[in-house]
Chain A
Amino acid sequence: MGAQVIPLESLLSARTVWRAGRQAAPAPLGESTGFAALDALLPHGGWPQGALSELLIPAEGVGELTLLMPTLARMTQAGRLVALIAPPLCPYAPAWQRAGVDLRYLEIVQPGVDNRSRGALWAFEQCLRSAAFSAVLGWPSNADGASLRRLQVAADTGQCLGFAVRDSKHADNPSPAALRMERVQGHWRIRKCRGGQVPSQGFAPPSPAVLPG
């Protein structure tokens, strides 16, 4: 095993290694999540730009959309495109509209049944890479580490926000995502955030049902 020598400077500049105790320069400002309490926890003051964020949930419908809705609403109202890649359930247009999403800028990509998982991964990567979207949401249920790395690179290339919503059982596996948040017992715990220390406290968003009706 010939260990390759990598200068510390390159690791620091790539922000794969950072100095504890010193606030890393928040060079690219994050995209605000719309929740002041969450923004304060995240190193860049919001979702990491041009990177993949992973949301780990025990089941569908535990508040993952409540977490994202302010961001999606703000983007679509500004005329920026948002894509949903192979959503597991039907996004219900009246509710999304009531939450403030401008449906003109919400594109849904739903591959046919026969190649759903492969087609969805491919479409996810294409949309991230294209720079046509401000945010791309995907549900890569059986993506392995290599696929996630591709997605992360694609999000970096396309400079857009990538959100991968996955099952909590993947929480213990390593992931190349810049931010990992897990839904535990009614609040969001940050498991990993690039560019800063993992905050100890979680974030409890308002209850899911309190979508404005």
Chain B
Amino acid sequence: MLWACIRLPHLALDAVLHDVDDPARPLALVTGPAQLRTLHAVNAAAAEAGLRPGMRLTAANAVSAETALHDHDPERDARAHRFLAAWAYRHSSLVSAQWPGAIVLEASASFRLFGPWPQLEAKLRRELDALGFQHRIALAPTPRAAQVFAGLRDGYALSDRDTLAPTLDRVPIRRAALPDEAGVRLHRMGIRSLKELRELPRDGIRRRFGLPLLEHLDRLYGTADDPLDCYQPPDHFDSRIEMGYEVESHQALLFPLRRLVRDLAVYLSARDGGVQRFVIRLEHEVLRREAGVREKSHTDVAVGMLAAERDAALLMDIARNRLEQASIDKPVVGLRLLARELPPFVPAARDLFDTRPSQAMPWPQLRERLRAKLGDDAVYRIAPTGDPRPERAWRPADVDDDAACTAPAPIRPPRPAWLLPQPVPLRQHGLRIVSGPERLESGWWDDDDVRRDYYVLETAHGQRAWAYADPGKRGEWMLHGWFA
């Protein structure tokens, strides 16, 4: 195994510069308690103006008044670190971000895909430059050695395990990234290089510095295994695109939405998962002139499906239909896609030799499309129930409720294929009674009492109607269905 270490010497600064409009302006990060504010990091323009990290804030203000000052936020650093770990995960399956300011990835397994190390290294550097993170990269047979080399010489690559020990032996003790500042203490003891440290009796080192230093040395030289905390991609998807301008039409949102959905699909296929519901968040920002503040709000467009899906085109189709249903009453400045539930994806089994028309779409997929456009309740099945009252003798059935659909309806006199949603008066001449009456007297248990005499009538046009009248009466017909 060969490990590449990417050191991020200016992670905090780069994370801030990533978000500011003009990175070329002097900028400094401030840290420390209120009484003792010091500069944590400065960018090139600020360094040119004479600012140095560690400088007191008052001194810095005296040197350069134009420098933009930002608070140093460790949470932002951690976010950037995680983001870079996710980025590195695209190049290797073994990525660790366990050391602050560094990312370690296993490189040799990726050579077949990305080409030999010089090519992979160039690719990493190109992408980091595009992302705007300064970096130092080195390659070594152990992760800790790679970390040490990255600190010593940018671009150093050592792939031969036999020369690892002699090379490491020459590393100055203070530059060897030893744990707990041990390097400085060893230097004071007169130890100058790792070679001299290794020649010391291990027992004595253990007593003076504890076991961690010895373990570190063994892992550094590769004589002991180095169990790393490997990066695991998060199990939810959250991505956001900021518009450069205010958008008020659906059409203009489709392009960024397509990007987000494509990212989601790539993410899902990497996880071998699917998504059942996600939220498209439209972020608004309204300037309140009287208060002089920008008021933020958002509209959520929820997208739900009956089964987990991960096909980009299908997800886009559904997301687009849902978005078109939503009304945009405020200008949108940002678009965010959140997916928290990512169930495993079970692809539909299909026959290899199934001959289907080219534009074929399986029913579950089509059902999602119909529901997205026409509403969640627009697609249903019907099932009979045991209730004697005609309007309650059927109900819509759920997608997976096959049992309800197959349950046989109680045997009753003929029932019409069409039922009117509401009975309506039937005022026609020439009605002829075909059969009846069938008395229904039911529903006393739920306060929806029904007393009706049902008849099958034939109209003058030859239609067969199912109508009822009050018990014992004929003539004031209420039409309830058609025998179509």
Contacts and interface: CB of A to CB of B under 8 A. Distances in A.
Interface of A: 58-66, 69, 81, 87-99, 102-104, 106-112, 115, 119, 122-123, 126-127, 129-133, 157-159, 185-186, 207-209, 211-213
Contacts, number: 184
B456 interface: yes
Interface centre among B413, B416, B421 (most CB of A within 10 A): B416
Contacts of B463: 59, 61-62, 208
Contacts of A211: 414-415, 417, 483
A132 B397 CA distance: 20
Contacts of B397: 103
Contacts of A119: 373-374, 378
A158 B359 contact: yes
Given A91-B418, A92-B390, A103-B406, 14 more contacts: A59-B461, A65-B484, A81-B363, A89-B481, A93-B393, A93-B394, A93-B395, A94-B394, A98-B409, A107-B380, A108-B382, A109-B378, A112-B375, A127-B366
Given A61-B465, A112-B378, A127-B366, A94 B373 contact: no
Contacts of A97: 384, 408-409
B380 A110 contact: yes
Contacts of B375: 111-112
A108 B360 CA distance: 19
User: Could you tell me the dominant secondary structure of chain B's interface residues?
Assistant: mixed
Contacts of B374: 109, 111-112, 115, 119, 123
Nearest to A84: B382
Contact of A94 (B379, B393, B402): B393
Contact of A95 (B385, B416, B462): B416
Interface string B397-421: 1000010011011101111111111
Contacts of A99: 417
Contacts of A157: 357-359
A126 B370 contact: yes
B284 interface: no
Contact of A130 (B366, B413, B420): B366
A93 B409 contact: yes
B362 interface: yes
B383 interface: yes
B76 interface: no
A85 B369 CA distance: 14
Contacts of A111: 374-375, 378
A93 B384 contact: yes
B381 interface: yes
A111 B156 CA distance: 66
A197 B372 CA distance: 44
A157 to B, nearest CB: 6
A62 B484 contact: yes
B417 A65 contact: yes
Interface in B432-459: 434-435, 456, 458
Contacts of B464: 61, 207-209
B207 interface: no
B483 A61 contact: yes
A64 B484 contact: yes
Residue with the highest number of chain B CB atoms closer than 10 Å, among A97, A99, A122, A123:
A97
A103 B357 CA distance: 26
B482 interface: yes
Nearest to A62: B463
Contacts of B293: none
Given A62-B463, A208-B483, A208-B484, A90 B380 contact: no
B356 interface: yes
Contacts of A69: 417
Nearest to B456: A209
Contact of B406 (A63, A102, A185, A209): A102
B361 interface: yes
Given A62-B461, A90-B419, A213-B413, A132 B366 contact: yes
Chain A to chain B: the 8 pairs with minimum beta-carbon distance, closest first: A61-B482, A213-B414, A93-B394, A94-B409, A131-B360, A65-B484, A103-B405, A132-B363
Nearest to B404: A103
A115 B321 CA distance: 14
A188 B393 CA distance: 32
B360 A123 contact: no
A78 B452 CA distance: 38
B366 A90 contact: no
A130 B361 CA distance: 5
A130 B408 contact: no
Nearest to A110: B378
